[in-house]
Amino acid sequence: VISAPFHLKRIPQCGHWIQQEVPQTVNRELLRFLRQAL
């Protein structure tokens, strides 16, 4: 059970090193999440 804000975003064609493979997508989604959570 997760009691904190949580959002699942599937990013196609990406492996285990998501932050290195698609950094722009990771940054965009992280900022979007933080704006909503704060």
Query: Each residue's pLDDT tens digit in the chain (38 positions)?
Result: 778 878 888 998 888 999 999 999 999 999 999 998 66
Domain that holds residue 2: 1-38
| Burial label, 9 (beta-carbon count in 10 A; 0-12, 13-18, 19+) | exposed
Q: Let me know: does 9 contact 30? Beta carbons within 8 Å.
A: no
Whole-number pLDDT of residue 28: 95
Whole-number pLDDT of residue 7: 82
- The residue type of 30 is L
How many domains does one find in the chain?
1
Q: Let me know: does 37 contact 5? Beta carbons within 8 Å.
A: yes
Q: 3-state secondary structure string, 1-38?
A: CCCCCCCCCCCCCCCCCHHHHCHHHHHHHHHHHHHHHC
